[in-house]
Structure 1
Amino acid sequence: MYEQKLRPRRMRISPAMRAMVRETSLSVKDFVYPLFVVPGENVREEIPSMPGCYHLSVDEAVKTAKECWELGIPSVEVFGIPEYKDADGSSAWDMTSPVQRAIKAIKAEIPELMIVGDVCMCEYTDHGHCGHLEGHYVDNDKTLKLLQKVAVSQAQCGVDIIAPSDMMDGRVAAIREALDENGFQNVSIMSYAVKYASGYYGPFRDAADSAPAFGDRRQYQMDPANAHEAIKEVDLDIAEGADIIMVKPALAYLDIVRQVRDHIHHPVAVYNVSGEYAMVKAAAKNGWIDEKRIVMETLLSMKRAGADIIITYHAMDVARWLKEDANA
């Protein structure tokens, strides 16, 4: 009988052995938890398409942010539904809007918690597109001026990281210039550098009331077929001053995550988006999958592909699971 000297199974023989040789691991320190802030008080309403996620008034957002911090999650990203919408989304830089108020309140309550501010216009415009419209065309350069206003307003409220998700050309340079001119040199930029025009965003548009009133966003978000273009977008944003580079969505684009990771020395973030989350929740509700096992495997794949930071709606659940496992 052939004598097999190399037996990879020896490294899988027990939990202790598997843990000893494990190449990739998840930590709560990897996570950013998204919050959806709405007008009102004492509001905590579950989002139908995203079970376990909620529309939160400012006071409830502070409570959730505090819970994140107590679980060891180091950061939250704040999205919001404003009290009013108009053609240019002026509520996006209104200092009395829910997002600005939530940023201030969270930072006052938990100063060590890092706050990421989403900078885009789709939640605030009455047409649902990500910038200033000229007819049915989103005007790139006029939109940049709006994004500057949003970024500065959020910085004034205390964000640590500005995250432009609009996909306008030149937005990183414009935002960096505006932040620096207003004394916010230490506010970082996490650019949605590689953001695809994806069908995985559906539940988010329900959560953020941001569906476009006409057409779609393919004129400014990336074609899912393109990989080389991703590297071009990354290079442009780094040259403009981005501190962190994001790929969105995550799960269907892990090949892009790996290419970006191999190409740059900046931190790489991924967004485990609403459609990815909702599919897991729906399958788990029907008893078709083991939710914990699927979630852990999915997030681990993102780390293995090269992500340093994972924005995920699963963050609080995973933080609890990791704590339970550590105490088992």
Structure 2
Amino acid sequence: MTDSQPTPENPDASVPGAGDPAHQQFVAPEAGPTDYSTPNYGESGSSPTAGAPMAPPVPGAEMPAPGNGAPGYGAPAYGAEAPGYGAPAYGAPTYPAGQAGPSSGRSPASGFDITAFVLSILAPLVGLIMGIVATSRARREQRRASGMAAASVWVGAILTAGWIVFSVVMVIVVIAGTAFVSSSVIASLPTNLPTSLPTTSLPRVAPSDETMERFCDAYPVLASDFPALDALNIMELAERPEGAASEEIALLERVSTNSDDLFMISPTDIEDPLLDLTSHSESIARALSNGYSLDASDFTGLARDQRDVVSYVAANCG
């Protein structure tokens, strides 16, 4: 608990002249001593009171008016311009050295621009690409593209579009023309074409006398088995049990071997009947040996081949 200080009943009793009415209008500040010395704004000795300390104000006295010896803090005169706040100057923008500002006119045409314009006529697609590159470069440099660069873009674009349209039209025309010609050729073909082409046979070469002599001498070996072949009955052979036709099997195998031997020395015009005779006789012998069912076509072919060989020998061997 802090000790409370005694408070005087009249706080202004200790102040001299507190009862004076003037003292009630001007109350001395409670702050510490203040230096009221006048700063030296001019030359030394310009004011008799320059540098001298200013006496503290006496309660009840009037404040002195600012004069030469004290700084003046009065309001500035009406219409006077406040110092240090002039209007900013807005001049033309400046650019770094070597860089020009944007120009209102078109740039002169460079060699690249001229080349782009020429190629836009000769090779429209290449000229169009070069023109786009030239205009993009001018835009990055903050200048207008030259007339050649702009013209190469327009000319290249128009001619490229024209070439594309022309190419598409030509492709359509070629396809349509090919289809029309094909349909016309097909329509002009005859409708009654033969289903098979005529065959031309080579002229047969007459066998030599030596060949015919050898063939005619070997033929009786084969012909000796023809009477037994004529006696074969397919129905009788089909009813026999397996292994009961050994004589017939031996006959057929002998005919197959003799006809094959005769084929090796025969003239060309009797080769086919001899081959068929060998094949049919061998097929019947195999069926009888293995117990297979007999094929009637083999017997029919065997009889036909036998007749063809007999007829040829009768015509050529005498």
TM-score under structure 2 length normalisation? 0.18
Give 1 or 2 for the bigger CA radius of gyration: 2
TM-score, length-normalised on structure 1? 0.18
- Structure number with greater CO (CA < 8 Å, separation at least 6) is 1
